[in-house]
Copies of this chain bind each other. A is one copy, B any other.
Amino acid sequence: YKLWGGRFSEKPNEALQELNNSLPQDARLYADDLDASKAYAEALMRAGHLNATECDKLVKSLEIIRYDWVERLVKFEPSDEDVHTVNERLLVALTGELGKRLHTGRSRNDQVVTDMKLWLRKAIRETLSRLRLLIESIVSQSESHLGVLMPGYTHLQRAQPVQFSHWLLSHAFALREDCQRLAELRERSNVLPLGSGAVAGNPLGIDRIWLAERLGFAAVTGNSMHAVGDRDFVVDFIYCCSMVSLHLSRLAEDLIIYSTKEFDFIKIADSFSSGSSLMPQKRNPDSLELIRGISGLITSNLTGIMMTIKGTPSTYNKDLQFDKQYCFQAFDKLSQSLDVAVGVIETMQVRRDQLEAALSSDMLATDWAYYLVRKGVPFREAHHHIGRVVTLAEQRGVDITEVPLGELQQICAAFGADIASVADYGYNVQQYDAIGGTSTASITEQLRLLKNLDKQLRQQS
């Protein structure tokens, strides 16, 4: 069964058929294809091209075909180019001539974009749901460890004391924006292309507005030539996936470093570690390395689809067929990556003793500078003075808290005995109480924000 061929005298070449065959990719669109076909059959009826009995027969037969897919009863034939061919072939097998009427005024060009948009809607929902679980697991670990201190790093060098929860939540805020990006895409792309035909539109009185409502779209595309050649919504989705994967790669990098023997802040559960075939003692954070590495794979789909689209003539060209491969790989790999990330976060063990033991007195430097500022020293000078104190302490091999007051005063006269009070990490941390800071009040607010998001996402799914 072929959707074309009347004007061809030779059969397709085998090598071409293999390259051309999109079934291994697009078979997963079968349900979307059937949904769109049911709606299209009804639209044909409403436009007078089918009567009610015919339409009913088509719709019911499409449901039978769905059953066969679900039950894995569908057998492919060598001539099946794509999921659309398969579904039409099965329909004709069930309904004869009637089935040959369904494609009236429709082209695979508008059909496949419609199918992809239906699929995308579900893919966005699933991805949001996975993101929600990851944010939840971060929130939960953060709540359990409120009050645990650790060094906050910049440039991977100890910067200022922060709360462990503050650090962990910072990753959730990146993921929160991923949710926003996906939610916006869901709205932006929720526009029906069906009824664009091959390129020129539909001349058969199809009511596109009705079709859009029937299929849950908020609007219809405005120009048929644009609609059949447009894959921006696919690129957008792969972009969203790539951004999530980048965020996961940074989370993974943090965790890999924090679970080295040298940092020892985190213990990754056995179930998310692997061993070595040679070295009996090894416990490797394979899960996190895979998450880090896979960001290259997911992002490569973005580069790929953009390069594939670049410079193609407008409307439909066969190059666009690769959209599915890029899109499905990005979705599948990101899904796996998110699932593993959830597991790692949920099961990791936080080593409070090691985290707090890593705080060192040089990390008081900024607060010491603020101390001088409060005594009236301009900040830039205070910064310089404390820099000299740090060097002095380093040269002597002592903590800055061990430099005698007299020597401090030689560096800056504003030092007083009360400098001793700025040595409590926990106290200092609580001073950072502006929104977004590392004080407990601020972190509590962050948790509230993220739980609200969680609620919102749950309602949508």
Whether B314 lies near A203 (C-beta < 8 A) is no
A278 to B143, CA, bound (A): 30
A5-B275 contact, Cβ under 8 Å, with A317-B289, A318-B155: yes
> Which of B198, B253, B378 is A366 in contact with, Cβ under 8 Å?
B198
**Looking at A109, A276, A321, A360, which has the most chain B CB atoms within 10 Å of its CB?**
A276
Find residues 346-404 in chain A having any chain B CB closer than 8 Å to their own CB.
347, 358, 360, 362-363, 365-370, 373, 378-391, 394, 400
A380-B100 contact, Cβ under 8 Å, with A188-B177, A289-B319, A438-B200: yes
Q: Is the C-beta of A457 less than 8 angstroms from some C-beta in chain B? A: no
Residues on the B chain within 8 Å of A169, using CB: 223, 226
Q: Is the C-beta of A456 less than 8 angstroms from some C-beta in chain B? A: no
Residues on the B chain within 8 Å of A226, using CB: 169-171, 173-174
A305 to B294, CA, bound (A): 10
> Which of B253, B306, B347, B438 is A201 in contact with, Cβ under 8 Å?
B438
A281 to B367, CA, bound (A): 11
Q: Is the C-beta of A129 less than 8 angstroms from some C-beta in chain B? A: no
- 0/1 interface trace, chain A 282-315, chain B, CB 8 Å (1 if under): 1111110110111111011111111111111111
Q: Which residue of B lies closest to A202 (CB)?
A: B434
Q: Is the C-beta of A77 less than 8 angstroms from some C-beta in chain B? A: no
Whether B154 lies near A109 (C-beta < 8 A) is yes
Q: Is the C-beta of A442 less than 8 angstroms from some C-beta in chain B? A: yes
Find residues 217-259 in chain A having any chain B CB closer than 8 Å to their own CB.
220-230, 232, 235-236, 239, 242-243, 246, 249-254, 256-257
A243-B232 contact, Cβ under 8 Å, with A4-B275, A103-B277, A283-B7: yes
> Which of B172, B207, B312, B391 is A9 in contact with, Cβ under 8 Å?
B391
Find residues 190-225 in chain A having any chain B CB closer than 8 Å to their own CB.
195-209, 220-225
> Which of B232, B269, B279, B304 is A159 in contact with, Cβ under 8 Å?
B279
Instruction: State the Cβ distance, A65 to closest chain B Cβ, in Å.
Output: 16
Find residues 120-162 in chain A having any chain B CB closer than 8 Å to their own CB.
152-162
A393 to B259, CA, bound (A): 19
Whether A281 lies near B363 (C-beta < 8 A) is yes
> Which of B100, B184, B281, B439 is A386 in contact with, Cβ under 8 Å?
B281
A276-B154 contact, Cβ under 8 Å, with A220-B436, A386-B281: yes
A204-B293 contact, Cβ under 8 Å, with A169-B223, A312-B253: no
Q: Which residue of B lies closest to A103 (CB)?
A: B379
Residues on the B chain within 8 Å of A8, using CB: 270, 273, 275, 283, 387, 391
A19-B224 contact, Cβ under 8 Å, with A232-B174, A279-B366: no
A228 to B166, CA, bound (A): 13
Q: Is the C-beta of A104 less than 8 angstroms from some C-beta in chain B? A: yes
A6-B296 contact, Cβ under 8 Å, with A166-B223, A310-B310: no
Instruction: State the Cβ distance, A199 to closest chain B Cβ, in Å.
Output: 5
Instruction: State the Cβ distance, A190 to closest chain B Cβ, in Å.
Output: 12
A308-B297 contact, Cβ under 8 Å, with A6-B385, A166-B223, A386-B280: yes
A396 to B281, CA, bound (A): 15
Q: Is the C-beta of A407 less than 8 angstroms from some C-beta in chain B? A: no
Whether B200 lies near A152 (C-beta < 8 A) is yes
A306-B306 contact, Cβ under 8 Å, with A243-B232, A282-B4: no
A257-B254 contact, Cβ under 8 Å, with A310-B249, A310-B295: no
Whether A279 lies near B315 (C-beta < 8 A) is no
Whether B274 lies near A317 (C-beta < 8 A) is no
Residues on the B chain within 8 Å of A381, using CB: 97, 100
Given contacts A6-B384, A6-B390, A160-B199, 5 further A-B contacts (CB under 8 A): A10-B269, A12-B274, A152-B315, A155-B316, A166-B225
Q: List 16 A-B contacts (CB under 8 A).
A: A6-B383, A8-B270, A13-B269, A16-B290, A154-B279, A155-B316, A162-B200, A170-B226, A198-B279, A203-B437, A253-B312, A260-B262, A281-B362, A292-B311, A293-B319, A300-B303
